[in-house]
Amino acid sequence: MYVHESVTPDSLYACECGGVLEVEATAWINLSKGADGKPELEVFGFSEGDYAVKCAECGKEHTGTALGRAVGGVIYGDGGKDWFRG
């Protein structure tokens, strides 16, 4: 599953081409029954195995850059490659 957030003109990170960088990662989603009986979704974790930092405009991969490695650190933490649970 890929989740895309809307971007704004003041987004922090951009590619050399001027496009906005996006992160794609497989997420573990919990489905539960809400108080009103309607379904609720909660992101439980992310897999580091297939995350990517890419430019939305030109598609250039930035996963191996310092920014991409920092995003990976958020996803799988300092303890090694695993699922982030949060």
Beta strands, E only, 10-85: 21-24, 27-33, 39-47, 52-55, 83-85
What single letter denotes the amino acid at residue 18?
Answer: G
Unique residue bearing structure tokens 């300092």: 78
Tokens at 50, concatenated: 């297939």
- Tens-place pLDDT, residues 29-69: 888 999 999 999 887 777 666 788 999 899 999 988 888 88
How many angstroms separate the CA atoms of 65 and 78, rounded?
A: 17
Over residues 63-80, the mean pLDDT reads: 76
Whether the model clears a pTM of 0.85, i.e. scores above it, the answer is: no
Is the pLDDT score of 9 beyond 80? no
Q: Read off the DSSP letter of residue 50.
A: T
User: Which residues, at least 6 apart from 35, have a Cβ–Cβ distance to it below 8 Å?
Assistant: none
